[in-house]
Amino acid sequence: MKCRNSLTQIAFALVAALGVAWAQPDSRGLDLLARRLANPATRREAVEEVVASSATLTPVLLAWTTNPPGGVQVSDLDLGLVDAFDRMKTEAAVPFLIRVVSIKWAPITVAPWIKGASSVESEYPAAGALIRIGPPAASAVIKAAQGPMTPIERLLAIFVVSQTANVPGAREFLRAAVLQANDERVWAEKGLEALKKKE
């Protein structure tokens, strides 16, 4: 009886181990997934599959943010990763989303800043993802904005914080942005006046 129980336990352990192995995609399957995420024609379907099995694939996707697979256009893969992390609200992806905050769906600009918040989120998907992840993401954005950023990254950081509710330190961050913008405006205007006098 004892021997039979031991054999049963071993059989269950073996089945469980095989189940985990089958659940993990092999390297060819992962390479194919990366290519599908990078391809605009197959991205939506690939993202749906990732969302359906997020627990299995999230560590792989996070690894691709710093070590993308070969043979894939990194900027296109980044768009697929942003889409997947946005759908899953993956908080662990926040550093990556901040790093690619200025990535755009299309290279052509359609003046989103004039059209409003939804247009900005549509054009800059990582910014939209950070907003949907919520206060933890916006807090990380505030911290990241203390370091070097391009002007568009800085503008998107301000946008993310302004569109996210209940963020500790948001008021101070946004006030500092207003003061800096006012200083820049004043000195830009003085510079233009000086140039006009020299003409």
State the average pLDDT over residues 17-42: 75
79 in Cβ contact with 107 (< 8 Å): no
77 HSE (CA, 13 A, CB side): 22
CB atoms inside a 10 Å sphere around CB 197: 7
Distance in angstroms between the alpha carbons of the first and the last residue of the chain: 102
Residue 18 has pLDDT above 80, yes or no: no
Handedness of CA 69, 70, 75, 76 (dihedral sign): negative
Query: What mean pLDDT comes out for the span 30-42?
Result: 96
pLDDT at residue 3, rounded to an integer: 46
- Any residues with CB less than 8 A from the CB of 14 and at least 6 apart, and which? none
Question: Comparing C-alpha atoms, which of 142, 118, 138, 122 is closest to residue 130?
Answer: 138
Q: What are phi and psi of 167, to 5 degrees?
A: -100, 120
Q: Which is more confident, 141 or 29?
A: 141
Per-residue pLDDT tens for 49-108? 999 987 899 999 999 999 999 999 999 999 999 999 999 999 999 999 999 999 998 877
pTM: 0.82
d(CA 109, CA 156): 15
pLDDT of residue 111: 76
163-190: average pLDDT: 93
- Of 10-14, 111-115, 141-145, which gets the smallest average pLDDT? 10-14
**Once rounded to an integer, what is the mean pLDDT over residues 160-182?**
94
Provide the Cα torsion 173, 179, 185, 187; round to 10°.
-120
Q: What is the mean pLDDT of residues 130-156?
A: 96
Q: Does the pLDDT of residue 123 top 90, yes or no? A: yes
pLDDT at res. 25: 60
Percentage of residues in the chain with pLDDT exceeding 70?
87
